[in-house]
Amino acid sequence: MTAAAPIYGRVALIGLGLIASSMAHAMRAGGLAGHIAGHARTAETRAVALDIGICDSVHDTAAEAVAGADLVVLAVPVGAMGAVAAEIAPHLAPGATVTDVGSVKQAVIEAVGPHIPEGVHFVPGHPIAGTEHSGPRSGFATLFRNRWWLLTPLPGGDGDAVARLRRLVEAFGANVDEMDAPHHDLVLAVTSHTPHLIAYTMVGVADDLRRVTDSEVIKYSAAGFRDFTRIAASDPVMWRDVFLTNREATLDILGRFTEELFALQRAIRLGDGPHLHAYFTRTRAIRRGIIEAGQDTAAPDFGRVGAAKGQGD
């Protein structure tokens, strides 16, 4: 992770959680930014960011943080993007690029786009990387290595701005792809949003099932349930906003999931072993494809035990 010269002279990180702090660590490790400015909503988070030194300067307001920045990263919950964009808009430098790290793209474009001034480039983005941890202390420089970072450039946008942002992301060790926002939201509804909702639901079922005690749930958790709890430990504010802003795609995929679940219920009820075997064989191939693509490991512990951090989204 090296660079001959900084790709950006001054980067402003608005929001200092897992993704922004990991970006800061990666930029420091590769010499990718001349100055990293940061802002977080709470004084406590700003104090932590100063204490651990992930930013060169930490500012009380987002407007102060973006002054003079040639890259501004919106790393706040999707529901807060519009208000933050409105606050910083008068203070953005001409020629600057604004990007985001939200898990939903169409809603972010609709919330942020109207506030971007003429001469400032808006390149929406989404790193498909994360852990169940949050806050500035949770970041680490290798979070994005061999993970996908999706960009959803706007029609008629500045190609040089997109290329420059791509260079930064690739310097983090990420793989970069581009797609339009509606397709992004459908893809993520399949690969991330609906699986998270299912995980939250399964953990909720265990909590509500009075015939199984809390101590038994904790004590006898098998690997599948443990992974559900890991996913369900993710930031509740972020996921609330994801489902509220990507509701159409999520409801579409959730409906398809319900149909599949009913088919499996019927097969189990009827003792239809061939149907179950064929279904599990087909879905097993997806897992093999993920491993072959380098997006996970075949190790029994999924590479999580003993690793510095887990990965997911």
Q: What is the pLDDT of residues 53-84, one digit of tens each?
A: 999 999 999 999 999 999 999 999 999 999 99
- Range of lowest pLDDT (2-16, 32-46, 93-107, 260-274): 2-16
Q: What is the pLDDT of residue 307?
A: 39
Under the banding of pLDDT at 50, 70 and 90, the label for residue 231 is confident
Q: What is the pLDDT of residue 81?
A: 96
Under the banding of pLDDT at 50, 70 and 90, the label for residue 309 is very low
Under the banding of pLDDT at 50, 70 and 90, the label for residue 306 is very low
Q: What is the pLDDT of residue 1?
A: 47
How many angstroms separate the CA atoms of 194 and 190, rounded?
6
Nearest Cα to Cα of residue 17 among 27, 35, 29, 44: 44
Is 313 a residue whose pLDDT tops 80? no
Under the banding of pLDDT at 50, 70 and 90, the label for residue 225 is confident
Q: What is the pLDDT of residue 130?
A: 78
pTM: 0.80
Task: Yes or no: say if 100 and 127 are a contact pair by the CB < 8 Å rule.
Answer: no
Under the banding of pLDDT at 50, 70 and 90, the label for residue 310 is very low
When mean pLDDT is compared over 5-14, 240-249, 275-284, 304-313, the highest value belongs to: 5-14
Under the banding of pLDDT at 50, 70 and 90, the label for residue 308 is very low
Mean per-residue pLDDT, 146-167: 96
Report the DSSP beta bridge partners of residue 148.
128, 175
Mean per-residue pLDDT, 139-150: 94
Q: What is the pLDDT of residue 305?
A: 44
How many angstroms separate the CA atoms of 299 and 131, rounded?
18
Domains present along the chain, CATH in parentheses: 8-179 (3.40.50.720), 183-292 (1.10.3660.10)
How many angstroms separate the CA atoms of 54 and 67, rounded?
18
- Range of lowest pLDDT (134-138, 157-161, 238-242, 249-253): 238-242
Residue 298's Cα: distance from chain center in Å? 23
Is 255 a residue whose pLDDT tops 80? yes
Under the banding of pLDDT at 50, 70 and 90, the label for residue 164 is very high
Under the banding of pLDDT at 50, 70 and 90, the label for residue 3 is very low
Q: Long-range contacts made by residues 154-157, C-beta under 8 angstroms, separation at least 24?
A: 154/109, 154/113, 154/122, 154/123, 154/124, 157/121, 157/122, 157/123
DSSP 86-127: HHHGGGPPTT-EEEE--S-SHHHHHHHGGGPPTT-EE--EEE
Sign of torsion over alpha carbons 163, 165, 170, 171: positive
For the chain, percent of residues with pLDDT exceeding 90: 62
Under the banding of pLDDT at 50, 70 and 90, the label for residue 168 is very high
Q: What is the pLDDT of residue 15?
A: 97
Number of neighbouring beta carbons within 10 Å of residue 309 = 17
Please count the CA atoms within 13 angstroms of the CA of 288 that sit on its side-chain side.
6
Q: What is the pLDDT of residue 210?
A: 63
How many angstroms separate the CA atoms of 282 and 280, rounded?
5
Under the banding of pLDDT at 50, 70 and 90, the label for residue 222 is low
